[in-house]
Chain A
Amino acid sequence: MENFDQIALALIIFVPLAGAIAAMFMPADRQKDVWYFAIVVAGLCFALSLYIFLRYDYGAGGFQFQDSYLWLPAPLDINLSLGIDGISALLILLNGIILLGGVLVSQNIVYRPRDFFVLLLALGTGVFGTFAVRDLFFLFFFYELAVLPMYLLIGVWGSSTDFRTFFRAKEYAATKLFLFLVAGSVLVWIGILAVYMGAAESGFPTFSMETLGRLAEAGQLSEEFQTWVFPLFMVGFGVLAGMWPFHTWSPDGHVSAPTAVSMLHAGVLMKLGAYGIIRVGMVIVPEGAENWMPVLITLGTVNVLYGAVSAMSQTDLKYIIGYSSVSHMGYVLMGIATLDRIGVGGAVLQMFSHGIMTALMFLLVGAIYDRTHTRDIYALKGLFSRMGVTGFFFAIAGLASLGLPGLSGFIAEFMVFTGAFRTYLPLAILAVIGAALTAVYILRLLALTFLGESDARWEHLTDASPVEKAVGGAFVLIIIFVGVWPEPLLRLINVSVDALPGV
């Protein structure tokens, strides 16, 4: 098994890529075959991610599954170095789960199905790669690779919105999302080059995150330098994490995207941003991070409240969930900004927990929209009597979202609050109010959509398909499992959070 561990990370990056390349050569019109093939590839990725998650030795901690391939010799000397700690292991598992779920529920893609799965698998490579590499060049490479397919995935397979007062074309959402994210990566890119320049001045021109981390630890990068570099990472990665005021792409993007893409996007891609802040910002420029944390936690709090208030006034199911994502990513940012052991751990757990529950919600909304062709919560009424399982799953996801004890959201948010209470008391109180607002919009959504007298229009509705039920059921089980017994996840998280500088 030792040998397999060596290549496990390389495999998980290249399996979806190889799948995407192979899929390109499949006949364009064999929709079912492409779908089956994508399921096999995504299933393989899931198996690998589970294997990596289970094999990660939390007793030893640190970076494991390490491997390195020379990519570009001197003078630039770039290596494809792989290695993960507990945080990456958890997020890799998250991506494995959601990628498989997303592919499974995409059986209804009939327009250019082959191209859809090619792009979806390429997206998977980008996300796995970002979590698995230990080199800034490749981190950025995969990060951009994860952004690239979004434009076409939303633009080609998305849906336009025309509810009530405004009309938004899908290409509007696709372009906005893409340009926002690339604009964010402009800042990240400048930050990476600045770090390279700073390290070169200390005599170590390198992109290796390990070396850079050690340089920072040894105080080779001045505090002044770190203080102007960190905001580049904070804002650059923050755009993808949906940080206020750069979040506006996210609800639009989620709403227009097809179901699988919404799931992956809200479920995993937004986590890339938060992961970047932790992995690059906190580790490579720790002193800068410390100086900027009050700003980050303030923005995080604004996220929580602003997202919640916006969600309360929306009438489109997907917009509600989109803004709820903005709100929940606020907890993640707050948790990171506490620089407190429990707070940061909570942020990481929140990434996982929110990833699963938001993916579940988008899946269910997709199921509802496929059958009713509307997402207006005032038009949908009493769906519970027709779509019982969907309603039940939605209720679980919603309750997890509002932090009901026993479900995954509770543990994560509780940890974030604990961390925040210890460090920034007033903001923590505001965030708790935000959690209460969550209850308002979630319950409003559940009540309007599922409860009440069933509309005559919905009499012929069928419940979610077996595949959707299976995927949704699995997600529900994960939510409950993490809520009841978070220990296996927390073990991984804690050992890695303790190793972060400044915590």
Chain B
Amino acid sequence: MPGLTANLQLLTPEFALAGLALLVLAVDLVVPQNRKNLLGWLSIAGLLGLIALSLKMLWGENETLYGGLLAVDAFSLFFKIFFLGLGIFIILSSMDYVEKNLTSRGEFYGLILFSILGMNVMAQSRELLTAYISLELLSFCLYVLAAYARNEAKSNEAGLKYIIIGAFSSAVLLYGVSMVYSTLGVTQFASISAALANTGDVSPALWVGMALILVGLGFKLAAVPFHMWAPDVYEGAPFPVTAYLAIGSKAAAFALVLRLFSEGFLPAADQWRIVVAVMAAITMLTGNLVALAQHNIKRLMAYSSVGQVGIILTGVAALSADSILPASGVMLYLVGYSLTNMLVFAGLISFFNMTGREDISAFRGLADGQPFLAATIAIGLFSLGGMPIFAGFTIKFYLFTALASQGLLWLAGLAIFSSLISLYYYLQVIRQMYIRPVEEVAEAIAGEEVYIPTGPEVSTSPLILMVQSVSLVGVFWVGVYPAPFLAVIDAASHAILPGL
């Protein structure tokens, strides 16, 4: 065995990211209050550099570090680029918001960078405790970010709820880890897999251990019945943080779940497949049904993301040792889901910056006053509802085909049905923006009434416009021609399912 630190240079991007985060915190001390946006630009430049560095250094690598604790493979690289890119989007869309609504702006960007570090390590972990530690790094950053608007009661409430539930779920997760360790004596995914393949049947203690790990991760994913914190936290958190929670924390948790379940628990798939499948079914139905009753756009998006998590979980339930379709399906879904959600949230943040409102009825007539903004939100929502030419259709079709190929047609059917339900509440938002009574249309034609959102700023800022444009292109690209994405994703799937 080579020395534990023989190939430490493969971690250069992580060290650099940690350095970047510290640098941002340090520079914050010398940047004057009115120029804190510099820190945002510094972070973005750093993240761009890191993307280039990671691609150059790690493309085609397939190695492990620290005796197998971390993997540097196509899967890690895929998610690394994913999270770094996401970080850029989030920072771009939060800069206006942060400037207007938050204090201590420098740390905001620093925390986002640290949380990206946590996500990156999560996707690389091949060992339960390493995974746990990286998960905690991510979670702690998110607790603080959720409570960042410290003068608002709701934001404080969100942070408090999040940290209590988060701590509780971490405890459950840790307990599960210890049960697995006590029965199998190992914590590395590969060793777990080998032990499971050897033992043949699963002892009750091991079963409980795996179940507790699933529960712990279920809390992080906001899967039903462990989702109760999500709507409150989403509603209370600052808007860009809500977007970050909906996209980043979900994707990171799924990265861990994918690696853990395919590299570690796959030999015992008979034991957990049905559990995950039922959890997925309950999650998507509950999320989408409860979303029907929401009047606040943040809560709507929270329940929508619960519903989407249920749909992604179906792919986990279908993971298989003889097909990469389910794993690829989950990753493609994450890409499409993130691009779409980014598109929607960028629009919502921009709308919030203009009007300061987050109730759905405030969107009335937006299509006449802000056609581009309304169109991007509508496209995003149609995509989330699974309509074609947008990413939502293609990723759903791919994932559900993967389910059908594994014989889980009933689950695919439920998922398709829950997409139909979701379409209804997405339509409620689109209806507010576009559909107006005949008399109002007549006024609009006559030019007597033009809708302009009130507030200091009445147009979308160039920063958000950038996010919108890129994610708009992405939503169409994934929707119309996902082959390039799938080439990368399939390589990632092969990395975590080496038998194929």
What residues make up the interface of A, taking CB atoms closer than 8 Å to B? 28, 71-73, 75-76, 110-112, 115, 122, 137, 140-142, 144-145, 148, 151-152, 155-156, 159-160, 169-171, 174-175, 178-179, 182-183, 186, 189-190, 193-194, 196-197, 200, 205
Contacts and interface: CB of A to CB of B under 8 A. Distances in A.
B382 interface: yes
Given A111-B444, A144-B387, A205-B405, A193 B483 contact: no
Interface in B402-445: 403-405, 407, 409, 412-413, 416-417, 419-420, 423-424, 427, 430-431, 434-438, 441, 444-445
Interface residues of B, number: 42
A142 B388 CA distance: 8
A178 B420 contact: no
A175 B388 contact: no
Given A151-B430, A178-B427, 13 more contacts: A75-B325, A76-B325, A76-B398, A111-B444, A112-B367, A145-B387, A155-B434, A175-B424, A193-B403, A193-B412, A196-B404, A197-B404, A200-B405
B324 interface: yes
Given A144-B393, A155-B435, A189 B416 contact: yes
A423 B284 CA distance: 46
B254 to A, nearest CB: 21
A72 B405 contact: no
Given A148-B382, A152-B434, A183-B420, A72 B393 contact: no
Contacts of A156: 434-436, 441
B371 A28 contact: yes
B183 interface: no
Nearest to A162: B438
Given A75-B325, A111-B444, A155-B435, A186 B420 contact: yes
A71 B483 CA distance: 7
Contacts of B244: none
Main secondary structure of the interface of A (DSSP, over half): helix
Contact of B420 (A155, A159, A182): A182
Given A76-B401, A179-B420, A193-B404, A145 B324 contact: no
Contacts of B323: 75
B435 to A, nearest CB: 4
A233 B126 CA distance: 45
Contacts of A140: 388, 397
B486 interface: yes
Nearest to B444: A111
B85 interface: no
25 contacts: A72-B486, A140-B397, A145-B387, A145-B388, A151-B427, A152-B430, A155-B434, A155-B435, A156-B441, A160-B438, A170-B438, A171-B431, A178-B427, A179-B423, A189-B397, A190-B412, A193-B403, A193-B409, A193-B412, A193-B413, A194-B409, A197-B405, A197-B407, A197-B409, A200-B404
Contacts of A160: 437-438
Contacts of B325: 75-76
Of B435, B445, B481, B483, most buried by chain A (CB within 10 Å of CB) is B435
A122 B416 CA distance: 24
B160 interface: no
B437 to A, nearest CB: 8
A75 B329 CA distance: 12
